């Protein structure tokens, strides 16, 4: 659900969902607080993810939580939501710096993420329709599948460029 603000449609619900993904990847707001990851306490961390709340994490808090998620092996969900809202895709630098390794490492995640998305789509469409709740539930898998596929695409482009110079 997007929110109208001064005649513009803003993707706030995607940002809220991405924030919840980050917190969940780290074990929730209480776990983030106990780990001393950021200056904000668990109640406010949780509040930032509530769709009906107008509060959003400050830039430093967002960075610290997202950096901790990435360091723990998770994806930068807010970065991807933000880039997507602007019409971009954010990918790791190694996808461009090391194209062959990216292609090799990218095959399994693409298959996994696309498979998870297709499975959820199949379950959702059994009754002939996809509900709003089912659609929202598929957004993380769709985002992950797009991100992984885009990494492979960038690896292919980089490999093609290196081939032309060789």
pLDDT, tens digit, 9 for 90 and up, residues 6-48:
555 567 888 999 999 999 999 999 999 999 999 999 999 999 9
Q: Which of 68, 85, 102 is the last residue of a domain?
A: 85
Q: Is residue 101 domain-shared with residue 30, that is, in the same domain?
A: no
| 78 shares its domain with 107 | no
pLDDT band, residue 152 (cuts 50/70/90) = confident
68/98 same-domain check: no
From 85, 108, 138, the end of a domain falls on: 85
Residues 130 and 58 in one domain: no
- In terms of residue numbers, what domain contains 142? 94-165
Output the pTM of the full model: 0.58
Contacts of 19 (CB under 8 A, 6+ apart): 48, 49, 56, 57, 62, 65, 77, 78
Give dist(CA 133, CA 110) in Å, integer.
Answer: 24
Query: Quick one: tokens of 34?
Result: 């106990």
Q: Are residues 72 and 34 in the same domain?
A: yes
């Amino acid at each position: 659900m997007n929110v109208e603000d001064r005649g513009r449609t803003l993707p706030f619900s995607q940002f809220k969902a991405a924030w919840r993904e980050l917190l969940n990847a780290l074990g929730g707001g209480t776990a983030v607080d106990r780990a001393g990851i950021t200056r904000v306490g668990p109640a406010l961390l949780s509040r930032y993810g509530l769709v009906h709340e107008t509060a959003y994490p400050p830039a430093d808090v967002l960075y610290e939580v997202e950096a901790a998620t990435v360091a723990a092996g998770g994806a930068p969900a807010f970065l991807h939501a933000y880039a997507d809202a602007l019409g971009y895709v954010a990918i790791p630098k190694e996808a461009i710096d090391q194209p062959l390794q990216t292609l090799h490492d990218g095959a399994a995640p693409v298959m996994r993420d696309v498979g998870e998305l297709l499975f959820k789509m199949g379950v959702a469409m059994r009754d002939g329709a996809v509900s709003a709740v089912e659609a929202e539930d598929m957004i993380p898998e769709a985002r992950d599948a797009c991100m992984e596929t885009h990494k492979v695409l960038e690896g292919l482009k980089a490999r093609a460029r290196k081939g032309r110079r060789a």
